[in-house]
Amino acid sequence: MIQPLAYIHPQAKIADNVVIEPFVTIHKDVVIGEGTWIGPNVTIMDGARIGKNCRIFPGAVISGIPQDLKFAGEETTVEIGDNTTIRECVTINRGTKDRWKTVVGKNCLIQAYCHIAHDCEVGDNCIFSNSTTLAGHITIGDYVVLAGLVAIHQFVKIGSHAFVTGGSLVRKDVPPYVKAAREPLSYVGINSVGLRRRGFSSEQINEIQDIYRTLFVKNHNIATALDIIEAEKQPTEIRDEILDFIRNSNRGIMKGFSNG
């Protein structure tokens, strides 16, 4: 169902059963999957690739050109996965020649007034609370929860299943499975509640806890802690994911545990 007060470029590719409410503007190079709902006053610009059964609420702007002075008009995209909800006044900018696309995965909830800048890659099943802001070139894993008013520096990486508390300034990489809080951002434990909700066993949660005790609580430097973990912990998918994330961190990881 397409309202007559919406403007849709005749070359936009709109699937069956898409609902487009009044005062929507959809540009030429746009693809929208079946079953998606586009609320009033949404603007979808060239380069948008929106999946099936998404919901986009009033005032959102999808695939605006990057707020990047290096952008030279190259043809880039925004890709939004199936079943993702984008709430009021969210802005998601398309990529630059660095990655050529900005990606938001499947089953995500991007709450009101969030901003996702150019060349970000967001995994599946993520929740970003109101007014969270991602600068350019950020990589975020699956099942990440960012509470309200989180601001993330460009090129930062956040590992899967991490939780970042509200109002945090994220300047360094956040490893998988942890909770991050305080200023400067620090390790405050593992995301045990989220892990249990997602079916992690007690054994897996204990393994994660032991790894991060060595890494963040026992006053080792990072290099020493990694060597100890590799020597003392049996290889598992979880152990190797954590070690690989930290060793491949370009910005360095956030601070360890502190009682201050």
Catalytic residues: 118-119, 136
Torsion of CA 171, 253, 146, 58, to 10 degrees: 50
From CA 2, how far away is CA 21, in angstroms rounded?
6
Strand (E) or helix (H) holding 193: helix 192-197
- Pairing relation of β-strands 91-93 and 101-104? unpaired
On whether the CB atoms of residues 57 and 87 are closer than 8 A, the answer is yes
- Structure tokens that stand for 132 in this block: 């969270």
Q: What residue type is assigned to position 187 of the chain?
A: Y
CA-based R_g, the chain, Å = 20
How many residues are recorded in the chain? Answer: 260
Q: What residue type is assigned to position 104 of the chain?
A: V
Name the β-bridge partners of 34: none
| Collapsed DSSP state (helix, strand, coil) of residue 20 | strand
Is the peptide bond between 184 and the residue preceding it cis, with omega within 30 degrees of 0? yes
From CA 168, how far away is CA 181, in angstroms rounded?
7
* Strands, sheet with 127-128, edge to edge from the N-terminal-most edge strand: 19-20, 37-38, 55-56, 85-86, 109-110, 127-128, 145-146, 163-164, 178-181, 186-190
